[in-house]
Amino acid sequence: MKIRPLTKQELTKYFSDYRREFPDWAVEHDVVLTRQQEPLKQRIAFEALRDGTYRPSHSMDVLIAPDVGILPREHAGKWRQVVRAMEEQFQPSIRKPLDVVEVLRLGEQEVALSPQANANYLTGLAALSAYVGDVERALSWSDRVEERLRSQGRPPAPWELRLADFNRRLRQAVQSGQQRAFLQANRQTRQE
């Protein structure tokens, strides 16, 4: 079965359910919900992914701080400066090959600064730790996922139950030394 990304029309159809859930929010670009309360603007954007799924993302703008967006009329004169800023600020580096160990280190740094990381983020760290063969770290991050899901004060949502199941199976694979095969099989399942 060949997987294809969602079209804009398909994504807009799914977006309509979210639109009804947030009736007081405005819509931008057909798939972005926004609300504004001076001095803030909050966005929930929906993105079609290459694997045929979609994902929401969230951002906040502080409207009393300088805007760093580039207007189309500024593009010709500023795009090279933007590239330099991207090279300096984006992590991991956009000019070096992706390094799994570096991405894992950056992710762990971020969790250290924000200890309330969600179960999805922690699951990614568990999977990356298993991928690089660091069994102890993989098990530790898996423990953190379980703790996060237990401590949230509500029943887990279906997607959180899928994360819990993944972490349980990852733990079994790590403990039996089969983490690479497990992760590869999970990757193939996502691509089908």
Q: Which residues in the chain come in under a pLDDT of 70?
A: 1, 189-192
Q: Decide if 121 contacts 111 (C-beta within 8 A).
A: yes
Report the pLDDT value the prediction gives residue 1, as an integer from 0 to 100.
60
**Nearest CA to 144 among 168, 173, 123?**
123
Using only C-alpha atoms, what is the Rg of the chain? Answer: 20
Cβ neighbours for 120, distance < 8 A, ≥ 6 positions apart: 159, 163
Q: Hunting for tokens 């969790």 — which residue is that?
A: 111
The one-character DSSP state at 157 is: P
Report the pLDDT value the prediction gives residue 92, as an integer from 0 to 100.
94
Cα separation, 151 vs 90, whole angstroms? 33
Q: Residues 15, 52, 94, 103: is their CA dihedral positive or negative?
A: positive
- β-strand partners of 43: 34, 59
